[in-house]
């Protein structure tokens, strides 16, 4: 549920909010889950579970764009310079800078220094900034722009390879010269959490309520989630399509209540607080509520301290910050951010970005002196059981994005408590470390675009 952040739902919300010119503070990865810690950081270019990814070397002559004997120019895309949602995905720039400093301190890519160029699409200039990257950069790593479809022919046309943080449009998801560390695929939904909840609430799931705010960019992914839920036993009794701006959620809550919804996935795609307050006002108490990945944020648990939530879960495919002590890779990420981005909060957007950068560094280092786009992407696509070094659910086999990659089936369910998330092992029913990796959670969509 992380990517297209990355998850269809999150990106769709950002896209629609931009189109509607609504100023919000969330962005792709709303909220922060932990302050950058002072965890011990490797200084020799190794990453837990991955091995040597950065280190000294002699560099070497190159005729490849963006690669010299001493440096490699790399683009990172985001949209912070827009006037609709200022700061959107600026975390990708921060993570790129921190990773590059850490890697360069260990010797870079076989002695070549990583030089990061922040390419700001500002929502509506994706093609323009991609063209700029085409003039200077070797590859694009660890970022993404929300309105990415216009950039695809530009990037592919100029041979700009990419190890992406996220993709949004179908064209971008399936594009050539690209590896997505999450194995994102237009025709497969990873949604095993519905099956896990079906086992916990076999009666409640027969009264499923969901929906999304009324715009094609939101409703298309919402209907894919609905299909995935129904494939695992859910029966929809209410599908709501509220407008983009809702000042009073009470009528929508009352509708769900009147239709007997017991398994609730709210049609509210942004701030959950007013929705839950409306539930409290009318006395609506479903058996459980499911919130998707964008709600794995500090704002959600803060809201749970101010309003009475029903039993509430959020499904994620990044390593939970609450279990950071069990992931040396996540601890190292926190330590790097603490050292090289002091004062910045760390959230799951950093996990997504770092996974891309770790994959790039490992793949480029394996190329030796002869660093080319084809070599880096070939090495990246060959990786098995990729977790970003302990940052995400494992993907069994990476692949080029235009070669039918298979996303991870693995997930965890977190319960929402006042001021904290709690890993729910009982409902998750892990069968691989902390993860539930039941392959039945991969839902193939018959009519998916491609």
pLDDT digits (tens, 9 = 90+) for 57-80: 988 888 899 999 999 999 999 999
Q: Rounded to an integer, what distance in angstroms lies between the CA atom of residue 121 and that of residue 129?
A: 6
Tell me the two tokens of residue 100: 């590059």
pLDDT at 86 over 70: yes
Tell me the mean pLDDT in the region 366-383: 96
- 8 A C-beta contact, residue 20 and residue 311: no
- Distance, CA of 392 to CA of 431 (rounded, Å): 16
Residue 402 tokens read as 């235009």
Is the pLDDT at 3 greater than 80, yes or no?
no
Summarize the confidence of residues 123-141 as an average pLDDT: 97
What's the pTM?
Answer: 0.89
Q: So what's the pLDDT on residue 388?
A: 97
Helices (H), 201-263: 216-230, 250-258
Confidence band of 116 (pLDDT split at 50, 70, 90)? very high
Residue 389 confidence (pLDDT) above 60 = yes
Give the pair of three-digit tokens for residue 150: 């216009």
Buried b (16+ CB within 10 A) or exposed e, 373-405: bebbbebbbebeebbbbbbbbbbeebbbbeeeb
| Token pair of 230 as six digits | 């129904």
Task: Decide: 433 and 418 in contact? Cβ < 8 Å.
Answer: no
Q: Is 178 helix (H, G, I), strand (E, B) or coil?
A: strand
27: helix, strand or coil: coil
Average pLDDT, the chain: 89
Contact status, residue 84 vs residue 17, Cβ threshold 8 Å: yes
Q: What is the pLDDT of residue 9?
A: 38
Residue 55 confidence class, pLDDT cut points 50, 70, 90: very high
Closest CA to 259 of 286, 241, 231, 222: 286
| Burial (CB count <10 Å: 0-12, 13-18, 19+), residue 433 | middle
Please, which residues bridge with residue 67 across strands? 72
Q: What is the DSSP letter of 243?
A: -
Q: Which two tokens stand for residue 242?
A: 């509220």
Amino acid 12: pLDDT: 41
Helix, coil or strand: residue 382: coil
| Confidence check: pLDDT of 446 > 80 | no
In this prediction, residues 214-221 reach a mean pLDDT of 74
Structure tokens at 263: 């398994």
Nearest to 37 by CA among 298, 328, 247: 328
- pLDDT tens-digit map of 282-333: 999 999 999 988 899 888 999 999 999 999 999 999 999 999 999 999 999 9
Task: Please name the helix (run of DSSP H) or strand (run of DSSP E) that holds residue 427, with its range, or none.
Answer: helix 425-428
| More confidently predicted of 311 and 28 | 311
Would strands 263-264 and 442-444 be described as parallel, antiparallel, or unpaired? unpaired
What are the backbone dihedrals phi and psi of residue 318, each rounded to the nearest 5 degrees, phi first? -100, 155
Distances (CA, A) of 294 to 115, 291, 397: 31, 8, 26
């Amino acid at each position: 549920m992380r990517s297209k952040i990355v998850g269809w739902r999150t990106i769709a919300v950002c896209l629609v909010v931009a189109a509607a010119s609504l100023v919000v503070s969330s962005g792709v990865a709303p909220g922060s889950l932990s302050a950058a810690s002072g965890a011990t950081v490797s200084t020799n270019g190794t990453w837990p579970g991955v091995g040597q990814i950065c280190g000294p070397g002699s560099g070497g002559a190159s005729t490849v764009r963006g690669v010299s004997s001493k440096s490699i120019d790399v683009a990172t895309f985001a949209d912070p310079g827009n006037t609709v949602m200022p700061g959107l995905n600026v975390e990708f720039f921060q993570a790129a800078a921190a990773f590059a400093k850490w890697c360069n301190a260990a010797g870079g890519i076989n002695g070549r220094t990583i030089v990061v160029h922040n390419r700001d699409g500002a929502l509506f200039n994706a093609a323009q900034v991609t063209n700029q990257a085409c003039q200077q950069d070797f590859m694009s790593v660890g970022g993404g722009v929300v309105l990415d479809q216009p950039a695809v022919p530009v990037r592919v046309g100029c041979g700009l390879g990419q190890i992406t943080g996220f993709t949004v449009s179908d064209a971008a998801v399936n594009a050539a010269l690209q590896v997505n560390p999450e194995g994102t695929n237009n025709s497969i939904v990873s949604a095993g959490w519905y099956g896990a909840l079906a086992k916990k609430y076999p009666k409640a799931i027969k009264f499923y309520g969901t929906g999304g705010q009324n715009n094609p960019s939101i409703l298309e992914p919402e209907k894919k989630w609905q299909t995935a839920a129904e494939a695992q036993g859910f029966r929809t009794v209410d599908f709501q399509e509220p407008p983009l701006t809702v000042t009073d959620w009470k009528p929508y809550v009352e509708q769900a209540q009147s239709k007997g919804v017991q398994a609730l996935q709210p049609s509210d795609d942004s701030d959950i607080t007013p929705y839950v307050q409306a539930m409290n006002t009318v006395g609506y108490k479903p058996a459980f509520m499911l919130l998707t990945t964008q709600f794995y944020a500090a704002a959600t648990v803060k809201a749970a301290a101010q309003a009475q939530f029903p039993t509430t879960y959020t499904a994620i495919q990044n390593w939970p910050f609450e279990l950071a002590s069990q992931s040396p890779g996540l601890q190292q990420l926190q330590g790097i951010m603490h050292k090289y981005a002091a004062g910045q909060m760390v959230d799951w957007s950093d996990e997504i970005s770092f996974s891309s950068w770790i994959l790039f560094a490992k793949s480029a280092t394996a190329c030796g002196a002869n660093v080319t786009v084809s070599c880096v992407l070939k090495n990246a696509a060959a990786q098995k059981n990729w977790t970003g070094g302990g940052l995400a659910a494992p993907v069994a086999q990476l692949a080029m994005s235009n070669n039918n990659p298979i996303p991870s089936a693995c997930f965890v369910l977190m319960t929402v408590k006042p001021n904290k998330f709690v890993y729910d092992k009982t409902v998750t029913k892990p069968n691989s470390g902390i993860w539930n990796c039941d392959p039945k959670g991969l839902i193939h969509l018959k009519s998916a675009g491609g």
